[in-house]
A and B are shown apart, each in its own frame.
Chain A
């Protein structure tokens, strides 16, 4: 009986310690750890993107996504629909440099950074949303708020405000990060010019353990201003593959 009490005491004490340790995590530490988990060294995925337009019409895009160097380089190649099949988007330097390859004309065009904030194929995701892997750390200052329950899970609540010299497309972000997985479950994006206006909300769900990495398989972006939504689902994902740097070049785009 004595042993049980001691064990229970130790368990409670260690739990308190663990809890205190978690509570002691600063906003920067949470954001850094979250960015590491969201951006493995290399990844390859097949993605189905379903856009629900303002007129409630569905548009479905399927593409392959390759990324390297913790998301600093990414390449997106459309498989369907036929209208854009073979179109390839190369994003380097966290989507600061973007090139698009058009297979019918075999032309490659460089997009200027103003295009980063534009919708990707009319979806509610911008190039920046998809390609700026380290934006949470580099572009924003994070402050930890009181923990909250979100999507039925215990979460750290963080407020990110854009750094003074940052060119990020949102003035402010609110994040709810799952305490167990250190993966965001909800991200609220506030308008570029007005930090009081909620522009978009991203909900991440269906978290699975793949190659030892917790991966949200479903991303739903709600555009609060246009009343549209885009669902992005990973139908295949693999990590820590050998992906050559040569894929992220002009020749690689045409392969």
Chain B
């Protein structure tokens, strides 16, 4: 019923004489995990419906609604993924607090209006906000955290008012105000200026945004200001695609930290593509024996991007034929010498139908960032576009 109301609402908002464009996809997904000699499986069925309407040349509306239904093992206790020496410290009566359940959901993923001409654009509403040149992680992106196993998967929208101004052919200014609170001072602000210098694109960013940090021993949340200054550069050196991205974060009541990523990529004539990135997060730890409950839980919740300080990411893809790609990702945590290998297969079986098959294999002792106790798993995902 709620879904029908949302669709009717969106349609009434978006419709005009020409009617809205309706498109989207259906995405069934099956996941399996083998952990502690037990096989768990769960599935999800995701339906994304996009509505788009260009009312005039200068004004357009866009929205998408997502329906998500889960089946199989929907209830998980996150302590089962944390090394035993840490989870054992949690009193039995507190264990329930670490439960996590997948619940069927229906939500407006994005809904925005955009007024634009060739020199400026103002977008108001819940919208995609993502910046940065990195593939696996974006230190300058204060809005999203990428899943390193599937970094290109789309992110949910963020409420905000965004302005884009084209200052010259290759120079743009982007400003975002995210009204996260009732007063202006407590709301998020973000500015990026991007320009082109020769064969390079260069961006500088600055932001001030509230950040929530949870104490998972006592389930207390603290809110503090986060000021970020950073930038990225992307271009080409000796035929290789190269990029670097870095940000310094000043926190109101926690330790300041910086994050950086550098990478390069290349495509051989055979079609084999590879990229390599080195990622440093100074808020991560150098000794895996120092990872504590908060580190693990913040890593799972996305409050921390990494457990460790230094990571190397690799990705390769090879087209076996025009419709079938094989590839994989490798994640290596330099300090604790653990890692994950994610072979990936992608098949474009029909014009608008894709299949993806992914394994995840962990190489590392229990207690390390990618310890084998996390359990090997796989994912089979179909996507039917309409």
Q: How far is the CA of A240 from the CA of B99 in the complex (A)?
A: 64
Q: If the complex has contacts A81-B385, A110-B234, are A51 and B127 also in contact, measured as CB distance less than 8 A?
A: no
* Interface membership of A242, Cβ < 8 A: no
- Chain A residues contacting B322 (CB-CB under 8 Å) are 51, 53-55, 59, 119, 122, 226, 228
Q: Which residues of A contact B354 (CB under 8 A)?
A: 83
* Cα(A105)–Cα(B157), bound, Å: 9
CB distance from A53 to the nearest CB of B (A): 4
Cβ contact within 8 Å between A104 and B201: no
Interface membership of B77, Cβ < 8 A: no
| A115 contacts B by Cβ under 8 Å | yes
Seed contacts A122-B319, A255-B118; 14 additional CB < 8 Å A-B pairs: A59-B351, A82-B25, A82-B385, A105-B128, A112-B239, A112-B241, A114-B240, A115-B241, A117-B267, A122-B348, A228-B322, A246-B166, A247-B118, A249-B166
Q: Which of A60, A97, A192 contacts B269 (CB 8 A)?
A: A192
In the complex, the chain A residue whose C-beta lies closest to that of B325 is A122
Q: How far is the CA of A235 from the CA of B152 in the complex (A)?
A: 34
Within 8 Å CB of A104, what residues of B?
Answer: 128, 154
- Chain A residues with CB under 8 Å of B25's CB are 82
Nearest CB of chain A from residue B136's CB, rounded to whole Å: 14
Find out whether the CB atom of A53 lies under 8 angstroms from the CB atom of B199. Answer: no
A252 in contact (CB, < 8 A): yes
Chain B interface (Cβ < 8 Å from any Cβ of A): 23, 25, 116, 118-121, 127-130, 133, 152, 154-155, 164, 166, 169-170, 172, 194, 199, 201, 234-236, 239-242, 265-267, 269, 271, 319, 321-323, 348, 351-352, 354, 385-386
The docked-state distance in angstroms from the alpha carbon of A105 to that of B128 is 6
| Pairs of residues from A and B, 4 with the lowest C-beta to C-beta distance, nearest first | A112-B241, A246-B118, A106-B128, A82-B385
**B118:A251 contact, CB within 8 angstroms:** yes
When distances are taken between beta carbons in the complex, the residues of chain A under 8 Å from B321 are 53-55
Please, could you name 25 A-B residue pairs with CB atoms under 8 Å apart, sorted by A?
A53-B321, A54-B322, A55-B321, A82-B23, A83-B351, A104-B154, A105-B155, A107-B128, A110-B133, A111-B241, A112-B239, A112-B241, A117-B269, A118-B271, A122-B319, A122-B348, A228-B322, A246-B166, A249-B118, A249-B169, A250-B172, A251-B121, A251-B166, A255-B116, A255-B118
Contacts of A122 in B (CB 8 A): 319, 322-323, 348
Interface set, chain A 69-85, CB cutoff 8 A to B: 81-83, 85
Q: Is A41 an interface residue (CB 8 A)?
A: no
Measured CA separation A23–B201 after assembly (Å): 48
Q: Check A29 for interface membership: any CB of B closer than 8 A.
A: no
For B157, give the chain A residue with the smallest CB separation. A106
Report chain B residues within 8 Å CB of A112: 235-236, 239-242, 265-266
A118-B267 contact, Cβ under 8 Å, with A245-B169, A255-B116: yes
List of B residues within 8 angstroms of A82 by Cβ: 23, 25, 352, 385-386
A244 within 8 A of B: yes
B127 touches A106 (CB 8 A): yes
A119: min CB distance to chain B, Å:
7
Q: Contact: B118 with A114, CB < 8 Å?
A: no
- Measured CB to CB, the nearest residue on chain B to A53 is B322
CA distance A185 to B172 in the complex (A): 42
- The closest CB in chain B to the CB of A247 belongs to B118
For A57, the chain B residues whose CB sits under 8 A away are 323
Asked if A166 lies at the interface with its beta carbon under 8 angstroms from chain B, I say no
Interchain CA distance A100-B321 in the complex, whole Å = 23
Q: Do A105 and B154 contact each other (CB < 8 Å), given the known contacts A81-B351, A113-B236?
A: yes
Please name the residue on chain B nearest to A250 by beta carbon.
B172
Shortest CB–CB separation between residue B383 and chain A, in angstroms? 8
For the complex, what is the distance from the CA of A13 to the CA of B23, rounded to whole Å? 66
